[in-house]
Amino acid sequence: MTQTECLPLVIGPVDRRNGLSRENEQANTHNELAEYRPAPGRVKTPPAPARRAATPTHAPATPRTHSVTHRIVTSEPPEPAGSSLTRSKMRAMSFGQGGPYGPGGGHGPGGSQPPTPDWAALADDTARRGRRRKLLFIGGGVLATAAIGAIVATAVISSGDKGKSSDNSAGRLPAPQDLPSESSTPEPTFSDVAPPAPPKPLDILSSAKRDKAPLSAATLFPDEKAVGNGHTYTKGATAATSACATAAQGRLGPALTNNGCRSLFRATYSKDGVAVTVGIAVFDTKAAAERAKEQAGPNVASLAGGGVPVFCRQADCRASANAIGRYAYFTIAGYTSGADVTTADTKALQAGRDIADYAFRRILERGNQQASAAATATD
């Protein structure tokens, strides 16, 4: 005969809002009495204890174990065949408290249940750690406050020391009676009127009233060598006349006379068989010089002498006309051999440009010298 005992099921806490959980409902189905067919051998069970009422208890909140089994111990010979069925009792199962297959079941080592955690001790340890953390926060705040106070106190003391130093410096100043008396020498005074700006060279060269420097062939052509655009030429003869038309050819004569030419200064320069005569005509105004330049035709008469033969009297030559301030300057360039200058020729053309550049710089230098002298006189 096989007789087992059904003990009350121990379930976990009940959710009062939703009732018993699904696991508890399933577990209750195994608490009812059932009939089992005898095993093929005799089963010896321990004496049946007094039956206890199935009262639900609340176990500590531990992880639940959803495994169910029956523990059967075989210790006697099997019953003879044909024995009748017996009503058996099922042993109570517990979820999370060492069921048959759990840590406290019959298949565990020794069949012993694990120790239940000490929840009170765990709660005390958690509270103790919280108090320690709070104390650390409070201690850190106190230290930070003390550090800030020390910094502020140091700054206040430093500012106080600076104030005392300035007071001591003021105390070391001499008394009013010890200070030197004011000097009886009058201080210099300065005029509020700004000095006039120095004259510009071009302004001087444009007016006969301001252009007062000595004017001659020697002052306009002082050098024995003329350098223009990097090329050097040798000076020949020079000439000056107040009858400007007598030293001109073609329409240049009437242009000089009609615009009031005061003087005409000429000089000849030569290099490598090319000769250039430059003539500088002087007028009273800048406008008169501009008109003469525009009206000029075949140009200033070439000037022979100083080792330069007659040139550009019967042959074709290169001519140019320019003006700066009240001065108009003209050039005529050709070959000393009497050969014509063609349109494709560059040698005579370059020589005429070089000497025209030299004449321009000589006139401008005249204006610069007078402007510097005027500025020095003003100072």
Residue 204 has pLDDT above 90, yes or no: yes
Nearest of 219, 235, 215 to residue 227 by alpha carbon: 235
Looking at the fold, whether 99 and 208 belong to one and the same domain comes out as no
Highest mean pLDDT among 71-75, 199-203, 350-354: 350-354
Q: Do 251 and 351 share a domain, yes or no?
A: yes
Highest mean pLDDT: which of 31-35, 187-191, 202-206? 202-206
Is 216 found in the same domain as 315? yes
Q: What is the pLDDT of residues 250-269, one digit of tens each?
A: 899 999 999 999 999 999 99
Q: How far apart are CA 377 and CA 369, in angstroms?
A: 12
- Coil vs helix vs strand at 194: coil
- Which pLDDT belongs to residue 158? 73
In a domain, 30, yes or no: yes
- Mean pLDDT over all residues of the chain? 75
The answer to whether residue 193 is domain-embedded is no
Percent of the chain with pLDDT over 90: 42
Give yes or no: residues 83 and 215 share one domain. no
Same domain, 222 and 366: yes
Query: Is 165 part of a structural domain of the chain?
Result: no
Q: Is the whole-model pTM more than 0.75? A: no
pLDDT in tens, 337-377: 999 999 999 999 999 999 999 999 999 999 999 999 888 87
Higher-confidence residue of 81 and 328: namely 328
The pLDDT of residue 47 is above 90: no
Whole-number pLDDT of residue 231: 94
Residue where a domain terminates, one of 113, 141, 173: 113
Whether 108 and 219 map to the same domain: the answer is: no
All residues at 6 or more sequence positions from 59 whose CB lies less than 8 Å from its CB, including other chains:
10, 11, 12, 13, 94, 96, 97
* Domain termination site, one of 113, 146, 164: 113
**262 part of a folded domain:** yes
CB 236 within 8 A of CB 290: no
Paired strand residues for 94: 10
Which stretches does DSSP call E strand in 170-285? 225-228, 231-241, 263-271, 274-282
Domain count, the chain: 2
Domain boundary among 113, 146, 172: 113
Tell whether 321 and 212 lie within a shared domain.
yes
pLDDT band at 328 (very low <50, low <70, confident <90, very high): very high
51 domain residue, yes or no = yes
Residue 357 lies in a domain: yes
Residue 319 lies in a domain: yes
Residue 145 lies inside a defined structural domain of this protein: no
With cut-offs at 50, 70 and 90, classify the pLDDT of residue 33.
very low
Q: Which residues form the domain of 214?
A: 201-378
